[in-house]
């Protein structure tokens, strides 16, 4: 069991902020310990009579592998105070009817639980949203339901490491759920028009106006609490990034160029009906395969990228490595090369025991889609190397994935190896990712 004295000074400061403030957008770096901060603040408010019941909304894995574990690890916390509502309606109603003052629900089931709580007359006076940036879509169904429901809840906390990893406008919905529009207004269109410039004629892309980041940051000063994780970050070993080009073979380049010029690969009967589909097909070809339609309909594959990845792994000489993939054909190829490797995520076979064995260095290769490595996983036990079979577009996911091994407890320099095909859309994807990181860094300076 861990004692409260093990909390760092910065974690204790964050707990005090959440305890003393009714509205907080809590930003802390990956591995800072945001869960124990939120859990401690909530339990202390409940024990002191300031709150009676708190709803925690978080990704499923964060609930099962972080919240449930954290409350059992610390000697000053009572596991009986927390219950999960994960499952069907029966499980949600059982949790709502329980006497547990903290109820945890995953994002996918939160909308149903809110409706069922109204039916049962169950009320919450506290709300903590872990990984708040998951609710960045202002028009999302859960946001639409919550923006009115939360007005009855006096204590609200949103927790995230990357509030604007994708784009600056993502901050709006996050702030709205916490302060009802006090900082950035109650109308999405007005927010966009005031601080952004439309970057395309359809309104899918927006860019910050000059000085907008400073203005938005100033308006959020009372809401945002940024944990000072300087000492924590300085104590972490560095990240060594390697970008490995794998040139397209002659047949691959021919297929790629045909799709790029005509949106068609005639010999394979593959047609891209619009620009978005075309971009997706080009990304597939660049990384070693092509689907006619759904991912079950593979019509072409090239082994060059797989061979390059396998060569990189062989150079590690059995040292544990994580390999992320984007497409099913990539996973199928990796499974042929590493038949004993556990696969994390949907359709995978990785058990909790295998994750523990990987952390002990007993399993050399762990496979998974970036979505599966996002949140709630600690894999820094024996692993220091991560390989990306192909680049990913999501800035948030890019940071979250490496954060599984670049976090508290890591003692070795972390190595991230990214494979890409030169002169293809993969170069554009990596450029977009770099731009997002630059934009986020600039925006975060004002929060």
412 vs 293 pLDDT, higher one: 412
Residue 345, pLDDT > 80, answer no
Distance (Å, rounded) from C-alpha 325 to C-alpha 369? 5
HEC profile for 305-351? HHHHHHHHHHCCCCCCEEEECCCHHHHHHHHHHCCCCCEECCCCCCC
Average pLDDT in the 365-390 region?
A: 89
At 350 the pLDDT is 87
Host H or E run for residue 270: strand 270-271
The tens digit of pLDDT for each residue in 104-122 reads 999 999 999 999 999 999 9
Apex CA 189: angle with CA 187 and CA 190, to 5°?
A: 65
For residue 92, pLDDT over 80 is answered with yes
3-state secondary structure of 57: strand
Q: What average pLDDT does the chain have?
A: 92
Kindly indicate the confidence band of residue 396, based on its pLDDT and cuts at 50, 70 and 90: confident
* Whole-number pLDDT of residue 166: 79
Question: For 193-206, how does the pLDDT look when each residue is reduced to its tens digit (9 = 90+)?
Answer: 999 998 776 667 78
Q: Tell me the average pLDDT across 58-72.
A: 88
- Would you identify the CATH topology of the domain 4-233? Rossmann fold (3.40.50)
Q: What is the pLDDT of residue 118?
A: 95
Say if residue 96's pLDDT is above 90.
Answer: yes
Structure letter (DSSP) for residue 64: I
What six digits make up the tokens of 79?
């596991």
Q: What's the pLDDT band for 65 if we cut at 50, 70, 90?
A: confident
What sign does the dihedral 255-257-263-264 (CA atoms) show? negative
CATH number for 236-444 (one of 3.40.50.150, 3.40.50.10140, 3.40.50.720, 3.40.50.300): it is 3.40.50.300
Average pLDDT over residues 336-351: 87
Residue ranges of alpha helices (H) inside 121-160 are 141-149
Measured CA to CA in angstroms, residue 26 lies from 111, 115, 156, 416 at distances of 23, 27, 10, 28
* pLDDT for 17: 97
- Are both 4-233 and 236-444 of the same fold? yes
CA-CA-CA-CA dihedral for 273, 275, 278, 282, to nearest 10: 180
CA distance 194 to 208: 10
Is pLDDT at 376 greater than 70 in this prediction?
no
CA nearest neighbour of 396 among 378, 367, 375 = 375
pLDDT value at residue 164: 87
The answer, yes or no, to whether residue 75 has pLDDT greater than 70, is: yes
Quick one: pLDDT band at residue 321, thresholds 50, 70, 90?
A: very high
Quote the pLDDT of residue 437: 82
- Alpha-carbon gap, residue 334 to 321, rounded angstroms: 13
- Cα distances (Å, whole numbers) of residue 414 to 18, 57, 253: 33, 31, 33
Share of the chain above pLDDT 70, in %: 97
* Whole-number pLDDT of residue 202: 67
What pLDDT was estimated at residue 154? 97
pLDDT value of residue 444: 82
Q: Which of 169-183, 218-232, 381-395, 430-444 has the lowest mean pLDDT?
A: 430-444
What integer pLDDT is reported at residue 335 of this predicted model? 95
Residue-wise pLDDT tens digits, 9-41: 999 999 999 999 999 999 998 778 899 999 999
Q: What is the pLDDT of residue 347?
A: 67
Q: What is the distance between the alpha carbons of residues 133 and 52, in angstroms, rounded to a whole number?
A: 26
pLDDT for 152 equals 94
pLDDT surpasses 70 at 102? yes
- Every domain of the chain and the residues it spans: 4-233, 236-444
Contact in structure between 29 and 227 (CB atoms under 8 Å): yes
Contacts (Cβ under 8 Å, ≥6 apart) of 386: 321, 322, 323, 324, 401, 402, 404, 405, 414, 415, 416, 417
Query: 202: which 2 tokens?
Result: 């359809």
Other residues' Cβ atoms within 10 Å of the Cβ of residue 262: 12
Dist CA 373 CA 369 (whole Å): 7
Q: Please tell me the predicted confidence (pLDDT) of residue 400.
A: 85
The Cα diameter of the chain in Å comes to 71
pLDDT of res. 203: 64
Which of 66, 132, 77 shows the shortest CA–CA distance to 100? 77
More confident call, 357 vs 395:
357
Residues 147 and 114: their CA atoms lie apart, in Å, by 12
Please count the other Cβ atoms lying within 10 Å of the Cβ belonging to residue 296. 8
pTM over the 0.85 mark: no
Convert the pLDDT of each residue in 247-298 to its tens digit.
999 999 999 999 999 999 999 999 999 998 999 999 999 999 999 987 789 9
């Amino acid at each position: 069991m861990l004692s409260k004295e093990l909390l760092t000074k910065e974690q204790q400061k964050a707990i005090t902020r959440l305890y003393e403030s009714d509205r907080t957008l809590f930003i802390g770096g990956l591995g800072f310990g945001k869960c124990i901060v939120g859990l401690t603040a909530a339990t202390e408010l409940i024990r002191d009579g300031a709150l009676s019941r708190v709803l925690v909304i978080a990704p499923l894995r964060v609930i099962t592998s972080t919240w449930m574990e954290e409350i059992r690890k610390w000697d000053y916390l009572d596991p009986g105070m927390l219950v999960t509502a994960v499952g069907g309606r029966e499980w949600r109603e059982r949790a709502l009817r329980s006497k547990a003052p903290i109820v945890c629900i995953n994002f996918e089931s939160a909308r149903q639980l809110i409706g069922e709580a109204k039916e049962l007359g169950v009320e919450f006076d506290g709300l903590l949203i872990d990984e708040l940036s998951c609710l960045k879509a202002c028009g999302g169904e859960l946001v639409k339901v919550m923006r009115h429901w939360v007005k009855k809840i006096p204590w609200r906390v949103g927790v995230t490491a990357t509030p604007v990893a994708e784009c600056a406008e993502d901050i709006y919905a996050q702030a709205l759920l916490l302060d009802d529009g006090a900082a950035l207004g109650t109308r999405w269109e007005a927010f966009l028009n005031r601080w952004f410039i439309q970057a395309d004629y359809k309104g899918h892309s927006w860019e910050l106006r000059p000085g907008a980041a400073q203005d938005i940051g100033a308006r959020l000063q009372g809401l945002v609490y940024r944990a000072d994780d300087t000492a924590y970050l300085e104590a972490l070993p560095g990240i060594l990034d390697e970008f490995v080009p794998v040139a397209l073979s002659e047949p691959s380049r021919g297929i790629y160029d045909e799709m790029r010029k005509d949106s068609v690969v005639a010999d394979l009967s593959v047609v891209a009906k619009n620009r978005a589909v075309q971009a997706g097909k080009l990304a597939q070809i660049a990384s070693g395969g092509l689907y006619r339609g759904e991912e079950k309909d593979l019509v072409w594959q090239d082994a060059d990228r797989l061979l390059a990845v396998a060569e990189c792994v062989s150079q590690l000489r059995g040292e544990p490595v994580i390999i992320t993939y984007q497409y099913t054909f990539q996973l199928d190829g990796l499974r042929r090369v590493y038949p004993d490797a556990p696969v994390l995520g949907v359709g995978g076979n990785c058990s909790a025991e295998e994750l523990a064995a990987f952390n002990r260095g007993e399993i050399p290769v762990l496979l998974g889609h970036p979505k599966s490595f996002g949140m709630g996983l600690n894999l820094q036990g024996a692993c220091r190397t991560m390989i990306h079979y192909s680049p990913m577009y999501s800035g948030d996911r890019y940071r979250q994935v490496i954060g599984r091994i670049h976090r508290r407890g890591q003692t070795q320099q972390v190595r991230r190896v990214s494979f890409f095909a030169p002169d293809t859309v993969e170069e554009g994807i990596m450029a977009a990712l770099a731009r997002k990181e630059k934009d986020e860094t600039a925006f975060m300076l004002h929060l």
